[in-house]
């Protein structure tokens, strides 16, 4: 007779019932030998819930049954097959159809109506017991969380968790990377993908030592409140799989990596990132994502269209297509991009025209000098590792262990390109650090600021756009160009500009009718 034994234990059951895989294995093998088994196959699942039907050991057992390798299956009790009654009945029927006899150590199995009824009742009790155990464990974890403890394994980039003491500590190296990610994102005119690209260029490893950072991973870090010191527990209801209401979620304090203000700035930028950093076509629009039509409520996007027989860059609130519920103004409001951008840019320059204020700010030095120094040291370490990697490849080639094939050439090329990118970034940091350390008189700085402001119109498009977005939060357009002047001026158009970082009652809003 060919027998198989199936043993399973989950961490919950081992704690409650006190038996382990070793105990089950010994007892089941002994019963199989008593039944006269000449061959015993063993299948096991350790730390796997009995509520799941897809289990490695169980799958292997079912495959062996399908290949007619098993005559008798020995288990401790029906709970080992499953803690769900429906799964127990399904598996029992499958084994019976394959001609496999079921033998339980703690349960008498009879293929009679009474035996099947008792089997069903025991299965229902097992399912009820599993739900009660899970509920007790979940309730205990929730209580621990409410008391400020960590109820489950805490595996978050930037932190280390000691399960014995229950203490959450900062991982200095990873925490420094998180701070840089937030600083890059909120202080530069870049998006999430650019942050991921910079991490990859600097060859900063992930927690799992993956080869590259993904955009979604960076987004998860930038939006996770744990980095401002708030870890959320119990966001999903285990019974329904649906999100819990915010008031039911427990907030556990942990050491913050970034300040609350920094985290909030990142969230504000992410909220507007869809409209401000959307992919642009070959025609560039300085005010894209900032314009709103006061008359219809639509945003005004850039469009290269023909108007009155002339094709050029325009801004319009008009929408087309079935997906657009709000079609915009009718007749369509269309404004020359060149004229509107020139008008707004002239106002932006007025806001920035404070050479003395710029000089005084520069004299204080860069507030992120420490971060610049840390990034520079990190780049030096990575350059050293790249050089060691290059030398290792060359040494292997010299020893005849590696041939100069296409794979080796690609590897050397990758090392060279990565080193070049890191050196370029290091050079940028050196310039920034030198500028922050360079002592200068206010008069000298004033002259430099004045010189730069006089050259502001010569900035590249991306630099101008960054300045506009750093200052303005919204531009509202009301009215429309007077007939016959749409291609020449903004007569009849009212432009209202809202400046960032201002309280509503004190906001520097201004209105001008341009002719």
User: Pairing between strand 2-9 and 72-75?
Assistant: parallel
Could you tell me the CA-to-CA distances from 441 to 77, 368, 437, 445 in Å, in that order? 86, 21, 13, 6
DSSP state of 247: G
Residues 6+ apart with CB under 8 A from 394: none
Catalytic, out of 10, 92, 288, 378: 10
Please name the residue ranges forming H helices in 147-245: 172-187, 192-201, 215-223
Phi, psi of 335 (to 5 degrees): -125, 135
Three-state SS string over 110-123 comes to CCCHHHHHHHHHHH
Burial of 471 (0-12, 13-18, 19+ CB in 10 A): middle
Taking CA atoms, 236 is separated from 195, 227, 233, 337, in Å, by 29, 20, 9, 48
CA distance 74 to 102: 6
Closest to 289 (Cα-Cα) out of 314, 313, 272, 271: 272
User: Residue 10 catalytic?
Assistant: yes
- Which token pair is 480? 């429309």
Yes or no: say if 180 and 371 are a contact pair by the CB < 8 Å rule.
yes
Would you list the DSSP string of 335-369? EEHHHHHHHHHHHHHHHH--HHHHHHHHHT--TTH
Q: Residue 407: count other Cβ atoms within 10 Å of its Cβ.
A: 10
- Which neighbouring-strand residues pair with 102? 73
Give the other-Cβ count within 10 Å of 167's Cβ: 13
Report the Cα–Cα distance between both ends of the chain, in Å, rounded: 100
Judge contact between 352 and 467, C-beta under 8 A.
Answer: yes
The C-alpha atoms of residue 492 and residue 515 are separated, in whole angstroms, by 7
Q: Where are the alpha helices (DSSP H) in 317-460?
A: 337-352, 355-363, 369-398, 406-437, 442-454
Q: Which residues are catalytic?
A: 10
């Amino acid at each position: 007779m060919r027998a198989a034994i199936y043993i399973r234990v989950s961490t919950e059951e081992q704690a409650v019932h006190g038996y382990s895989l070793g105990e089950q294995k010994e007892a089941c093998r002994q019963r199989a030998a008593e039944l006269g088994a000449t061959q015993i196959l063993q299948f096991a699942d350790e730390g796997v819930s009995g509520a799941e039907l897809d289990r490695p050991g169980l799958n292997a057992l079912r495959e062996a049954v399908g290949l007619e390798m098993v005559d008798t299956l020995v288990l401790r009790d029906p709970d080992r097959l499953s803690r769900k009654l429906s799964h127990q009945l399904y598996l029992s029927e499958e084994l019976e159809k394959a001609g496999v006899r079921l033998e339980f150590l703690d349960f008498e199995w009879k293929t009679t109506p009474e035996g099947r009824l008792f089997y069903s009742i025991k299965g229902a009790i097992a399912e009820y017991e599993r739900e009660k155990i899970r509920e007790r464990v979940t309730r205990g974890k929730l209580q621990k969380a409410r008391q400020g403890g960590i109820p489950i394994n805490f595996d978050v980039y930037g932190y280390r968790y000691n399960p014995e003491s229950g203490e959450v500590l900062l991982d200095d190296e990873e925490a420094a990377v998180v701070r840089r990610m937030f600083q890059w994102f909120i202080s530069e005119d870049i998006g999430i993908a650019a942050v991921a690209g910079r991490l990859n260029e600097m060859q900063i490893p992930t927690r799992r030592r993956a080869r590259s950072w993904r955009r979604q991973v960076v987004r998860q870090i930038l939006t996770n409140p744990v980095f401002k010191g708030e870890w959320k527990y119990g966001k999903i209801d285990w019974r329904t799989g649906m999100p819990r209401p915010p008031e039911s979620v427990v907030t556990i304090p942990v050491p913050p990596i970034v300040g609350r203000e920094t985290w909030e700035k990142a969230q504000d930028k992410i909220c507007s990132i869809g409209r401000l950093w959307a992919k642009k076509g070959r025609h560039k629009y300085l005010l894209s994502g900032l314009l709103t039509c006061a008359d219809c409520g639509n945003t005004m996007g850039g469009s290269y269209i023909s108007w009155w027989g002339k094709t050029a860059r325009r801004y319009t609130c008009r929408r087309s297509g079935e997906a657009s519920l709000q079609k915009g103004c009718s007749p369509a409001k269309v404004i020359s991009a060149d004229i509107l951008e020139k008008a707004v840019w002239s106002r932006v320059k007025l806001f920035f025209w404070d050479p003395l204020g710029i000089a005084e700010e520069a004299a204080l030095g860069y507030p992120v000098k420490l971060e610049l120094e840390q990034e520079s040291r990190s780049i030096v370490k990575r350059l050293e590792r790249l050089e060691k990697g290059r030398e290792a490849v060359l040494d292997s080639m010299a020893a005849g262990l590696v041939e100069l094939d296409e794979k080796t050439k690609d590897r050397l090329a990758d090392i060279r390109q990565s080193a070049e990118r890191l050196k370029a970034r290091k050079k940028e940091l050196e310039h920034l650090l030198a500028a922050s350390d360079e002592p200068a008189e206010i008069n000298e700085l004033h002259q430099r600021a004045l010189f730069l402001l006089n050259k502001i119109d010569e900035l590249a498009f991306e630099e101008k756009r960054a300045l506009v977005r750093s200052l303005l939060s919204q531009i509202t357009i009301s009215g429309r160009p007077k007939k016959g002047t749409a291609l020449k001026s903004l007569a009849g158009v009212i432009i209202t500009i809202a400046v960032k970082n201002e309280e509503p009652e004190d906001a520097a809003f201004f209105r001008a009718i341009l002719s």
